[in-house]
Structure 1
Amino acid sequence: MVAALDKQNTAELERISAVVKGGFLRSGGITTPEQQDLSSGSQERPAASQSATSSSSAGSLCDIATVNEDINRDERSRATGYIGKGSEIAWLQKLSEEVGKLGHPIESSPHELSSEEESLTALSYHLDHLSFSTLEAGDPQALPQRALSDQLIAIYFAKVDPSFPLLNKTLFSTQYHQALTKSRSPSRKWLTILNLIYAIGAKYMQLSERNWADAIDDRSFLSRALALNADQSLLGEHADLQQVQIWVLYAIYHLTSAQINRAWHMAGRAARCAIALGLNLRAGGLNVDATSRESRTRLWWSLFILEQLLSVMTGRTSCIDWRSFSIPAPLPFDEAQFQAPQAAKYLSDLALRERTFVLTAQTPRFRIEARNKLLRAVEPSSSLYLFYLADLAAISHAAVNAVYSLHACLGVSKGAHAKITHYQRMLGDWRSSLQSSFEFTDRNGRLKLAEPCPEQIALALAFYSSQIIINRPCLTRPGIQKVTETRHPRTAFANATALLCLQSAMDLMAIFPDLPDMGWLCEMTPWWSVVHYIMQALIILLIQLCVGPVDVVKGAHTETGQGAVGTAEEPEVILRVSKKCLRWLHAIASRSPSSRRAFITCERLLRRIATINGFDLEGVPQAATLAARTTNSSLENYYAQRGRSPQQPSESAHGDAMREASTWWGADYTYSEPDAENQAYLPFSLDPTLLDFLENALE
C-alpha cells in the first residue's frame, strides 16, 4: 500500500480498496457492527453434495487432507503437530462435531461448530504439551544399585524386547556383566543405551505399581542418556548402528510417556540413519556373520513396526514405504535355535529364506499356504511372534497408505471399494496363517481366547486395530439433501464395511476382562499402546451411537440398516461396550495422565449423547472420582507446562518490543501467539495518509 501511494499507482490502490471492502479487515480483527452481523450467520455454506457418497462430519474418504488450524500458532499446537484423518484424534474431532449436531436435522454451519474445545490440540489426549520440569544428569557414568539395575533390565527384555528386538540380547548381557564388574569400561553410546533401557523399565514400573508418583524416577536415566549422547547433534558425527538403536529407544521411551509427537520425530531420525546405513536392503556377500546379519534385520523390523504404529496414531505419512526395502522378514527362530539344523539352513541360504518366509503383502495368495505350513511346524517363540507382528505391520502399512493417502481415491468409489476389499481379504489371510499358539479366533472368525498369552493378546489388538482403521471411512452418516431434509441411504458395500468396523471395535474390547484389572493389563498387553487401542474402539462405538441405524440400498429397495454382525444391534449393546471402555480408561487414569485426559473427553461426549438420546449411564465412572495423583497439580514436580507466561511484560520489555518492531525475524508474515502478545503492547501507529485511505475504502 505504501509503495502504491509513493508511486501514485491508481490501479493498485483500487485493487487494495476492493480487498478491504471484501472482508480483509474483518479477518484481521477490524469489524463494524454490520460486519459482525454478516459474519455471525448470514453467510451460507455451499450446497452439500447430493450424491449417495456424501457423508456427514463423522468423517469419510471424501474428506481431503487439509490443515484447518495454524499449527505454528503457539507452543501447544506445535507440540501436538499435524494430525491426519487416519488418527483416532481426528476421529474424535469429527465425533465432537457430530455430537454438536445431535437434535438438528440439517448439518450446522462449520462456523457454529468451531471452538477451542473442538480443536485437535484440545482434544489430543497425548502429553506432548508437557516437558520435564528438571533434568539434572549428575554423574553420567553412575549406575543404580545392582538389584534395581537387574530389575529394570529384566522388565525391558520381558515386556518390550519381544515386540522391538533391536538389541542382540546375548551380546548385551555379556557387555552388561563386564560393565558391572568393571573388567572393561563401557563406551558412551553403550551407556546411553543402558540408561534408556532403565528409563523405559521405570515407565513400566510407574504403570504397574499402585502409586504412579511413588515409582522410580525415569527422568534421572533420561537426563544421563541425553548428557552421554549430547555430541550426536545434527552437526555431530555420522550415525552408526548404535546410534540407530539409541534413536529407536528414545522413540520407545517417548511412546511409553504418551509423548507421541516426540516419538514420531525420533523414529524419523532413526529411519533416516538406518536407510543411510543400508539396513533396509538385503545383505548379500557381506563380511558379516549370520547372527549379526539377523540382529540388523530385527533392528530394521523393530523400527518399521514402531514407525507404523506412530504413523497410525498421528495420522501422518510414514517416512518408510513398505515397497522401499528388500530386507527379508525376521527369521521365526530364537537366537538359541540358530545352531539347530532347521534354523541354520535358512541363516546360511538367503535365497531359500526369502522364498520360504515371505510377507503376505508381497506374495501371491497361492504361495501363502506353503509358507503357512512351514510356520505351523515352527516351535512357538518370541521370534515367531515377531514374524507375525512384522507381517501384520506390513499389511497395515500398505492398507493405510492405499486408503488414506493423498493419492487414494476420493469418495467411496469403486476404486476405494476394491482397495478396502483387497486388504480385508489380506488381513483374513494373515489371521488364517496364525499358529495355534497365537490364534485368537474360532473357525468362523469370531474372537476366542481360551488360555491367552501376551503375544496372542498383542496380535489380536493389532489385528482389530487394523480392521478398524481400514473400514473406518464407511462408518458415517450419509449426506443430507437440504431441500427435502432427507438423508441418502448407504450402499450395501458401505453398510457391510461400516458394520465390520463396528464389530472389530466390539471384538477388540472383548479381549479385555469386564472388570478393569491393572495387573492383567501390565502382564498381558502392549502397555505402551493400550490406551490408543481403547480409544480407537471407543470412538467408533460413540460414532455409531451418534449415527444410529442407516437406511441401506439393496437392489431396488431401501431397507432399514442392520447393526453389527453377530449382535442384537440395539444401542444398548453398543452402550454397554462403551461403558466398558470408559471403565478401563478410568482405571488406567489412576496411573496415567494421558488416560485421564482421554477419559474426561470421552465421558463428556458420552454424557451429551446420552442426554439427547435418553441412554442410561449407570456404571459409567464419574470424572470427579479420578485419582488425584495424575492431575496437573500433582504433576507439577514431574512435568512442566510449556507455553507463554501469563505475566505482563515490564517497562523494559515493552521498550525492547518497540525497538524490535522495526524488524521482523519470523519465518513468514504471521505471528505465533507469543509474538502476537508482544505486538499487542506496541502503540498503534499508521501514516495519516494511509488512515484517510482506509476510511475512504470502508465508506
Structure 2
Amino acid sequence: MSSHPQHAGRAFNPAKVAIPRLDRRGDEPPRKQPKIKPDRVPRACMGCRAKKIRCNGVQPACKTCSDNATHCVYASSRKDRLKTATEHNEDMMQLLRSLRNSVGESDRDKIDDILSQVANDVGDAASTLQRSPDKFRSVDEEGEANVSATVGTNEDLDNMNEDIMSSEQSRATGYVGKNSEVQWLRQLHYETDAGSHDPSASQGPYGPPGTSDRASEERAEALRQRQTHNSTYQQHTSMFNFNLDDEAVDMDFMVDPLALPTIDIANRLVRCYIDNVHNSVPILPKKAFTNEFFHHYASIAQETPHMLSQKWQAMLNLVFAIGAVYSHLTEADWRGDERDHFVYYSRAWALSLKDPWWFSHPDLQQTQITGLLAIYYLAIGHTNRSWVVIGMAVRSGFGLGLHVRNEDRTATFVKKEVLARTWWGLYTLEMLLSVITGRPSVGIESYCSVSLPLPISDDEFEETRIQALFGTWARPTTTKEPVSLGGSSEPPPTGSIRDPSNSGTYLTSTVKLVEISQRVLTEIYSPGVKRESWKQVQQTISEILEQLESWASSLPPGLSVTPHQHGGGDHVMTYERNNLKVFYHSTKILTTRPCICRLDRRIPNQSKSSNDSNEKTAAICVTSAKAITALLPDALLPENIATERYRIYETFPWWAVVHYIMQSLAILMLELSHEASSRDEQSDTMTALKKLVRWLRTLRGNNGMARRAHSIVLDILKKMAARIPIDIADLLAEDQTEPAYADDTQAQSNLFTQGHVTDEFLGHYNASQQFPDYLPTGSYPPRGNPVLHMLNSPIPNLLITEFDQYNPLPFGNGEVFMGQLDYGEPQAGSSGMDGASGDGRNT
C-alpha cells in the first residue's frame, strides 16, 4: 500500500479525517473552466421554440426570424406573466365597478357576485407584486374606491337618530330626508356646535362599500364609533323646520257651502289660479273649467238653476282658496279679508266630505280635488299635509290608469291630452314635495308610459286642430324615447326641440327635469347608496350633471335657462322661464350637495383626481346657489319694500319661494362654515347670503314660513360668527330696526292664522237660498270637528286618531269630470275672463 497521502485518502477508514489542501506547483498549468456553448441563450423566442431550432436570443428579433421575415416574440417570465395578469384583473374589476351604475338591478347583482369572488384573490396577488410605474395606481391605493358613499354629506342615509313620535311638533314635521334643506340646517347647527369643541368631530371613520354582510357590519361599526366620538347632542329636526304643519287647519262648518263670492272677486281668483298655477300643475282642463265657471255664474244671474255636482263646486272653492292665498302674498289691491282662503277651504271641505274617503273608488274628480288640496296646503306652508295628499292623488291616478298610454278608441284627442297633462301635473308636484321633504317618490318613471304633452297651448285644445297637426304622429311615451313618425313621411310642424314656447313645451321641459331629480333621489340619496363607493357616487354625479346640461341645451329658445340661448323679446313665458331656471339650479344643488364638506379630511389616501373632482363639484353647487340668488331683485330699500316685495312671486314658483331661498342659503352657510374658499370667494358668498337673508326679512311681514326661516337662519349665523370670521353686524342691526315678534318660532302671520271664519267676511251670492233643494238632506257632518265625529262613528276612520284632528283626508264619490264638459268654444256672453288671455299675470 502506498504511503502517499493522495492514495491514503482513498483508503477505507470509518473515521473521517480532515485532509489538508495540497499546494499547487508553480509549473502546473491552470485548471480549465467549464466550456459554455456560444449559441446558448437564456430564453429562446416563441418561433424557434416551436420549430425546435437554435435561437441566438437577439432582441427584438433573432437571426432566424429576421432571415425568414417572421414576427419574433419572446415569452415573459412566469413572474412577469403573473404581474401582468394581476394588473389586467384589477383593471377589469375597476371597469366593472364603473359600469355597475349603468345596468339594471339583476346585472348589478351579478357584478357584485363576481367582484366578491375575485376581489380577495386579486388583492392577495397584487400585494406581492409591484405595479408597473407606467400604470395608474391600483384600486386599493385609491381611497375614494374603498370608502362608502356615506363619507359625503349624505351620511347616515339608512338610519334615523331621533324619535319622531316623541311630540306633536315632531309628528307634524315627520321624517325629513337627507336631501332636504331642513336636514342641511340641522347638520350645520350640529357641526357648528361640535366644531367649537372638537375640530375633528366629523372626520370619520366610515365603512367600506359592498353588499356583503361583513361590509355592512363594518359600516355599522364605523357609525357607532362616530357616535361615540361625537358627544355633541343633535337637536330634533322639528327645531329647524320652517314649515307650518304644526299649526291647526280647522274647517269651520258655520259657513254655507253653497255660497259664492261675487262675480268680480271670483273672476279675479280664478285668473290668479289659471295664470300662476295652471301651467306648472295642469290638474284641471283649462277651457272646460273656465267655460263651466262662467256658465254657472250666468245661470245664477239669470235665476235659472244650473245643477253641478258637489265635487265640482268643491274644486271651484279650492281654486278660490289658492287664488286668495296668492292675492294676499302679492298684496293685490282687490284682495279680500286675510282669512278668506279658509272660508273657501271650509266650503270645499264641506262639499267633498260625503263618504269616508277609503270606501270610495278613485275617480277623476276625486283625484283633481286631492291635487288641488295639495297645492293649497303647500301654498300655506303645510308641507307635510301636502305630501300626504299628493301621494293619494298620484295613487288615484295609478288606479285610473292615467300613468299609461291611452289607446281608448272612444276617447277624443282632447280628452287624451287633458288626461295626460293631469297625470304629469300630479307627477311633477309629487316630485317637488319629495325633494322638499326628503322622502321617496311614488311616481316612478319606469312605471309610466303615458304620452308627453303635445307642444301646443291649452287655448288651442280643439279636436280638429290636434288631429290635423298630430293625428299621425307617434308621440314619445317617456322622456328618454325620441320623437318619431308613424304613418307620415313629413315631420309635424311643431314636433322638434325648437317648438314655440307654450304651456305644452313648458310642461314637457318640467317633466324631463323632474325625472332627472328623481334619478338624483334614487342614486344619490336613497339608503341603498351606502353600498356604493364614493368613487361610484362621483361618477353618478358627473353623469347627472351632463344630463342636466343636455336638458338645458334642448329647451326651446323662449324657455332657455342660459342667457346665450335666450333670444330675447319673448315675454309671453317669462314667468315659466324663470321657474325653469330655479328648477334647474335647484336640481344642480341637489346633485352636488354631497361634496359640500371636507372630504379631504374624511377619505384617507384619496387620489388627486378625486380631490380635484370634489372641489369642482362643490364649486358648481355654490355657483348654483348664487345663480338662484341672482334671480331675485336687487336693492330692496326700506322705502320701496311695500311696493317691491311682491316681485319675488313673479320670479320664483310662488308656492315654494321659501324652500328655494332656504335651499340656497343652507349651501352658502355650509360653504362659509368649512372655510375652504379664498378671501374673494368668501366675500362674494357673504354678499349673496346677506341678500337672501334680507329677502326673508322682507317676506316675513305676510309669510309665516319666511318668518320662521329668518329666525332659524339668524340663530345659526350667530353661532357661526362666534367660531369663524364672518361679519353679520349689519344683518343684526337691520333686524333690530324691524318690528319684533314675541316668538318667531311660533309666530303666525295674519295670512296663515286660522281664526273663527264665517261668511260675513265675504261678499257672496247665497246659492243655497236660490236653490234650496240643490243639496241632499244629510250630506253634511255635524258642526264642529269632523275628526271627533268620525272617532264616535260606528265605523271610525282607522287612519285618524285623536292626535290627527287637523289632518283632513276624506272625499266622496262623484261623476267623472271629463265626461260632463264640452270642449268647444265658450258660450255666448262668456268668451273669456275679463277679456284677457291666460298668458297675462294678475297681481
TM-score, with structure 1 as normaliser: 0.74
**Range moving further from structure 2, 164-173 or 511-520:** 511-520
Indicate yes or no: 2:316 matched with 1:200. Answer: no
Match of 2:434 in 1: 311
Aligned runs of 1:244-393 on 2, under 5 Å?
244-339=367-462, 343-345=466-468, 347-349=470-472, 352-354=474-476, 359=479, 361=480, 374-393=495-514
Distance, in Å, in 2 between the alignment partners of 1:341 and 1:105 is: 69
Distance, in Å, in 2 between the alignment partners of 1:290 and 1:439 is: 29
1:418 Cα deviation (Å)?
2.3
Match of 2:662 in 1: 535
Distance, in Å, in 1 between the alignment partners of 2:292 and 2:255 is: 23
Match of 1:492 in 2: 612
Distance, in Å, in 1 between the alignment partners of 2:467 and 2:361 is: 34
Q: In 2 relative to 1, CA 413–110 (structure 1 residues): closer, same or farther, beyond 3 Å?
A: closer
Q: In 2 relative to 1, CA 190–637 (structure 1 residues): closer, same or farther, beyond 3 Å?
A: closer
**Range moving further from structure 2, 337-346 or 58-67:** 337-346
Distance, in Å, in 2 between the alignment partners of 1:271 and 1:85 is: 23
Q: In 2 relative to 1, CA 498–435 (structure 1 residues): closer, same or farther, beyond 3 Å?
A: same
Contact 2:631 2:651 in 1 (8 A): no
Match of 1:545 in 2: 672
Distance, in Å, in 1 between the alignment partners of 2:730 and 2:716 is: 16
Distance, in Å, in 1 between the alignment partners of 2:356 and 2:653 is: 31
* Pairwise CA RMSD: 3.6
Match of 2:331 in 1: 209
1:478 Cα deviation (Å)?
2.4
Indicate yes or no: 2:732 matched with 1:611. Answer: no
**Range moving further from structure 2, 431-440 or 196-205:** 431-440
Contact 1:203 1:257 in 2 (8 A): yes
Match of 1:675 in 2: none
Indicate yes or no: 2:186 matched with 1:66. Answer: no
Q: Match of 1:86, as an amino acid?
A: N
> 1:518 aligned to 645, 650, 674, which one?
645
Match of 1:122 in 2: 239
Match of 1:107 in 2: 201
- Residue-by-residue CA offset, 1:69-107 (whole Å, 9 max, x unaligned): 111112111111100111111111111112213444221
Distance, in Å, in 2 between the alignment partners of 1:545 and 1:627 is: 29
- The alignment partner of 2:248 has SS state of strand
1:410 Cα deviation (Å)?
4.3
Q: In 2 relative to 1, CA 248–137 (structure 1 residues): closer, same or farther, beyond 3 Å?
A: farther
Distance, in Å, in 2 between the alignment partners of 1:321 and 1:342 is: 32
Indicate yes or no: 2:286 matched with 1:164. Answer: no
Contact 1:590 1:626 in 2 (8 A): no
- Residue-by-residue CA offset, 1:354-395 (whole Å, 9 max, x unaligned): 28xx62x4569xxxxx99994454332222211211121112
> 1:592 aligned to 687, 700, 703, which one?
703
Contact 1:56 1:479 in 2 (8 A): no
> 1:601 aligned to 675, 698, 712, which one?
712
Contact 2:321 2:345 in 1 (8 A): yes
Contact 2:414 2:462 in 1 (8 A): no
Distance, in Å, in 1 between the alignment partners of 2:495 and 2:518 is: 25
- The alignment partner of 2:445 has SS state of coil
Q: Match of 1:354, as an amino acid?
A: P
Indicate yes or no: 2:362 matched with 1:230. Answer: no
Match of 2:174 in 1: 81
Q: In 2 relative to 1, CA 432–113 (structure 1 residues): closer, same or farther, beyond 3 Å?
A: farther
Indicate yes or no: 2:305 matched with 1:190. Answer: no
Contact 1:152 1:201 in 2 (8 A): yes
Distance, in Å, in 1 between the alignment partners of 2:751 and 2:381 is: 18
Q: In 2 relative to 1, CA 114–120 (structure 1 residues): closer, same or farther, beyond 3 Å?
A: farther
Match of 1:573 in 2: 684
Distance, in Å, in 1 between the alignment partners of 2:751 and 2:648 is: 27
Distance, in Å, in 1 between the alignment partners of 2:231 and 2:243 is: 23
- Residue-by-residue CA offset, 1:562-592 (whole Å, 9 max, x unaligned): 66xxxx8521111111101101111111111
Contact 1:628 1:634 in 2 (8 A): no
- The alignment partner of 2:201 has SS state of coil
- The alignment partner of 1:143 has SS state of strand
Q: Match of 1:497, as an amino acid?
A: T
- Residue-by-residue CA offset, 1:601-635 (whole Å, 9 max, x unaligned): 11221232223222222542544445568964665
1:347 Cα deviation (Å)?
4.3
Aligned runs of 1:378-417 on 2, under 5 Å?
378-408=499-529, 410=531, 413-417=534-538
Distance, in Å, in 2 between the alignment partners of 1:625 and 1:362 is: 56
Match of 1:426 in 2: 547
1:316 Cα deviation (Å)?
0.3
- The alignment partner of 2:474 has SS state of helix
> 2:626 aligned to 498, 506, 514, which one?
506
Q: Match of 1:404, as an amino acid?
A: Y
Q: In 2 relative to 1, CA 70–152 (structure 1 residues): closer, same or farther, beyond 3 Å?
A: same
Contact 2:498 2:555 in 1 (8 A): no
**Percentage of identical aligned residues:** 29
Q: Match of 1:477, as an amino acid?
A: R
Match of 1:658 in 2: none
Distance, in Å, in 2 between the alignment partners of 1:636 and 1:209 is: 13
User: Which structure 1 segments of 5+ residues have no match?
Assistant: 1-49, 365-369, 550-561, 642-666, 673-699
Contact 1:153 1:201 in 2 (8 A): yes
Q: In 2 relative to 1, CA 397–98 (structure 1 residues): closer, same or farther, beyond 3 Å?
A: same
Distance, in Å, in 2 between the alignment partners of 1:75 and 1:195 is: 30
Q: Match of 2:316, as an amino acid?
A: L
Distance, in Å, in 1 between the alignment partners of 2:626 and 2:566 is: 11
- Residue-by-residue CA offset, 1:110-166 (whole Å, 9 max, x unaligned): 5876557x3101110000011135623521111111111111111110111111111
Match of 2:42 in 1: none
Indicate yes or no: 2:272 matched with 1:155. Answer: yes
Distance, in Å, in 2 between the alignment partners of 1:495 and 1:232 is: 56
User: Which structure 2 segments of 5+ residues have no match?
Assistant: 1-141, 203-225, 484-490, 637-643, 756-797, 804-843
Distance, in Å, in 2 between the alignment partners of 1:58 and 1:635 is: 40
- The alignment partner of 1:408 has SS state of helix
1:216 Cα deviation (Å)?
5.0
Match of 1:37 in 2: none
